[in-house]
């Protein structure tokens, strides 16, 4: 069995780490470089760093901050937010990021996945999907969760795999920040549809939620923010409990 990953997420706004509920009501969670260093030391497998207002404010991800984070940690990390071109991806990878997360830009220009995957390899390209349930299906939202594209999320995730994305970061907007558990139904559907790794995001509140995301929904990794930022769950405790359940984790 492949090792399951625990991934803290740092949502960045104005150079600070923030956390909200359903993409709203943001509150300060600390300095991103300090948090990144702490997570690296505490046994996180990877980090995800998202400049959550970069697309909305039509500005590039903070390359300077990426450089600073890369100097302080020794685990892989993914960067996302406002990345629109192959040149910008190259700039971030050169600054120290291991992967880039693409969302709004690939909905607008799906061919960007093909070009980026060809240029840097599928392993460096993460397709981020913000999905919200509408009627009996899930739609893809962009621009920091503010715009409903009308795209069917399941069909879109199949397409990003076919175009060369190496991984999917799937956030349930309905569950984001609620600590009510991951959207198991959505994750099960996606994991039965695609063969690339899926990172479960949105709704982590307990250790059991994380176990369910990998055991029941078959996700390859769990991503969370507030439960780690505010020390509600220690990464070591989470890994210990997962290991007891027979889940392969890096201790």
Residue-range domains of the chain with CATH: 5-244 (3.20.20.70)
pLDDT at 111: 98
Instruction: Give dist(CA 166, CA 113) in Å, integer.
Output: 10
Instruction: Give dist(CA 250, CA 245) in Å, integer.
Output: 14
Catalytic residue numbers read 11, 130
**pLDDT digit of tens for each residue in the chain (251 aa)?**
689 999 999 888 877 777 655 545 566 667 888 889 999 999 999 999 988 776 555 555 568 889 989 999 999 999 998 899 999 999 999 999 999 999 999 999 999 999 999 999 999 999 999 999 988 899 999 987 889 999 999 999 999 999 999 999 999 999 988 899 999 999 999 999 999 999 999 999 999 999 999 999 999 999 998 899 888 999 999 999 999 999 999 98
The neighbour count for residue 37, using CB atoms within 10 Å, is 16
Q: Do the Cβ atoms of 23 and 30 come closer than 8 Å?
A: no
Q: Do the Cβ atoms of 44 and 235 come closer than 8 Å?
A: yes
- Provide the whole-model pTM: 0.92
pLDDT at 54: 62
């Amino acid at each position: 069995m492949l090792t399951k990953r625990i991934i803290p997420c740092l949502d960045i706004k104005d150079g600070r780490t923030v956390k909200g509920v359903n993409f709203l009501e943001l509150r300060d969670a600390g300095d991103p470089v300090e948090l990144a260093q702490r997570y690296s030391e505490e046994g996180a497998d990877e980090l995800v760093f998202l400049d959550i207002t970069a697309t909305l404010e039509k500005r590039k991800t903070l390359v300077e901050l990426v450089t600073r984070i890369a100097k302080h940690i020794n685990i892989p990390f993914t960067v996302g937010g406002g990345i629109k071109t192959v040149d910008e991806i190259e700039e971030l990878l050169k600054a120290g990021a291991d992967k880039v997360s693409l969302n709004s830009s690939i909905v607008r220009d799906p061919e960007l996945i093909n070009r980026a995957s060809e240029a840097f390899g599928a392993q460096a390209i993460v397709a981020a999907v913000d999905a919200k349930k509408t009627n009996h299906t899930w739609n893809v939202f962009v621009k920091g969760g503010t715009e409903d594209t009308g795209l069917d999320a399941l069909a879109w995730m199949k397409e990003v795999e076919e175009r060369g994305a190496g991984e999917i970061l799937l956030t349930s907007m309905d569950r984001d920040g609620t600590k009510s558990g991951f959207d198991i139904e959505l994750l099960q559907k996606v994991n039965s549809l695609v063969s690339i790794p899926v990172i479960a995001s949105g709704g982590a509140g307990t250790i059991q939620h994380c176990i369910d995301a990998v055991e029941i929904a078959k996700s390859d990794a769990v991503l969370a923010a507030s439960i780690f930022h505010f020390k509600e769950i220690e990464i070591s405790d989470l890994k210990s409990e997962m290991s007891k359940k027979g889940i392969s984790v890096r201790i």
